[in-house]
Amino acid sequence: MKWITAKMVNTFTDQPFAGNPAWVAYGDDLPNDEQMLTNLANELNPVSDTAFVFPREGDADIFLRFFSKSEEIGFSGHGTIATYHALANESIVKISEPTTLIRQRTKTGTQHVELRVRDGKIHRVTVSLPVPQFISTPLDTKVIARFLGLPPIEILETTFPIGVVGLAGNTDVIVPVNSVDALQNLNLNIPLLKSYCDRMQIKGVVVWCFDGESDRKKAHMRHFAPSVGIEEDPVSGAAGAELGCFMVHNKLIPVQEMNRIIVEQGQSMKRIGTVYVHVHTHDTQILKVSFGGQGIVMFEGRLLLAHE
């Protein structure tokens, strides 16, 4: 019989039953077949992503592949966060205090990962991503409001723009709403939303608002990606980073060399999590973006691959 190890990690939180759960699978017998990995992902985690850990590739310390229940995904933020919390006590990666630097390889390229280590445990994982792309394309507020199930005025009253951001292989439409209540009470039409994403050739839609009129360093967000089999992502690191870059690019916050933004997500799914976004700029030009979060291992065991 062939077995692999699997751990479930709640990401972007240090509390049980919160944040975004992700499975991490690894072992000597881990298959490389795409269909097999898709089946395993669907078995482990039909709600969100699963990360599979492979031996190091090239000059990278680790090679990760991510799958939703239906297909391979180039990069998963919470899958990355989950991986290092899952591997903290394994020999696959070596951690040392106060900081361990990792080069990870994924389908979208190489990412630099920083592990903040305290008392032999990983306190926070921070992932650096390439410079985002801001894609110019016509966007119809009425169409977007229709699949979100809210009056267009809820978007228009913000006076903030709608835009498209591409980052780490993901492309999302960024949509503002005027209050936390409006954000949490969307009446989604998922088939219409999926049709829109497919037609626009994007991964999903980010809907967001500031925490309050006076607080421009904290935002609330929801992320929908039905085009890759995820109706709603409880907490998304990459989408949070997209939102932070969008804020800086459009000067929705006072732009500094280091812009720190807290993104809270998951209220609607009763799985609250927090993403810490850092956007580095020079003369208002974005040079680098990173996001970070905590994690807690909730379950670990073995999964049967083949019965001989």
Task: Say if residue 291's pLDDT is above 90.
Answer: yes
Task: Read off the pLDDT of each residue in 193-212 and give the average, rounded to a whole number.
Answer: 93
pLDDT of 263 reads 96
Task: Read off the pLDDT of each residue in 214-237 and give the average, rounded to a whole number.
Answer: 87
Based on the domain organization, do 30 and 98 belong to the same domain?
yes
In angstroms, the CA 48 to CA 65 distance is 14
Based on the domain organization, do 281 and 138 belong to the same domain?
yes
pLDDT of 194 reads 96
For the domain that residue 14 is a member of, what is the CATH number? 3.10.310.10
pLDDT tens profile 153-176: 999 999 999 999 999 888 999 999
pLDDT confidence tier of residue 3, bands split at 50, 70 and 90: confident
Return the exposure string of 16-47: e unless at least 16 CB atoms fall within 10 Å of the residue's CB, then b: eebbbbbbbbbbeebbeeeeebbebbeebbeb
Based on the domain organization, do 140 and 270 belong to the same domain?
yes
Tell me which range, 202-216, 221-235, 268-282, is most confidently predicted by mean pLDDT: 268-282
Start-to-end CA span in the chain (Å): 5
pLDDT of 37 reads 83
Based on the domain organization, do 73 and 17 belong to the same domain?
yes
pLDDT of 197 reads 95
Considering only CA atoms, which of 263, 230, 233, 231 is closest in space to residue 246? Answer: 263
**Distances in Å between the alpha carbon of 118 and those of 81, 170, 256?**
16, 32, 29
What's the whole-number average pLDDT of the chain? 91
**Dihedral sign from CA coordinates of 212, 216, 220, 222:** positive
Q: Domain range for residue 162?
A: 133-292
Under 8 Å CB-to-CB from 266, ≥6 apart: which residues? 12, 18, 19, 20, 234, 235, 272, 273
pLDDT of 249 reads 95
In eight-state DSSP terms, residue 283 is T
pLDDT of 308 reads 59
Torsion of CA 215, 217, 182, 272, to 10 degrees: -120
Based on the domain organization, do 25 and 66 belong to the same domain?
yes
Task: Read off the pLDDT of each residue in 227-244 and give the average, rounded to a whole number.
Answer: 91
Based on the domain organization, do 93 and 184 belong to the same domain?
no
Based on the domain organization, do 79 and 181 belong to the same domain?
no
pLDDT of 28 reads 83
Based on the domain organization, do 166 and 285 belong to the same domain?
yes
Based on the domain organization, do 120 and 148 belong to the same domain?
no
pLDDT of 307 reads 59
Higher pLDDT, 308 or 114: 114
pLDDT of 45 reads 72
**Distances in Å between the alpha carbon of 84 and those of 43, 64, 87, 224, 295?**
22, 11, 5, 25, 9
H helices of the chain, where? 34-44, 77-86, 141-148, 153-156, 180-184, 190-200, 237-249
Based on the domain organization, do 94 and 34 belong to the same domain?
yes
pLDDT of 164 reads 97
Based on the domain organization, do 257 and 149 belong to the same domain?
yes
pLDDT tens profile 75-104: 899 999 999 999 998 888 888 999 999 999
pLDDT tens profile 10-46: 999 999 999 999 999 998 888 888 878 888 888 887 6
Maximal C-alpha separation, the chain? 63
In angstroms, the CA 40 to CA 187 distance is 32
Based on the domain organization, do 279 and 251 belong to the same domain?
yes
pLDDT of 298 reads 94
pLDDT of 34 reads 82
Total tally of structural domains belonging to the chain = 2
Which pTM value belongs to this model?
Answer: 0.90
Please, which contacts does 208-211 make with residues 24 or more away whose CB atoms are closer than 8 Å? 208/174, 208/175, 208/176, 208/177, 208/183, 208/243, 208/263, 209/158, 209/176, 209/177, 209/178, 209/179, 209/180, 209/182, 209/183, 211/180, 211/264
**Dihedral sign from CA coordinates of 178, 183, 186, 188:** positive
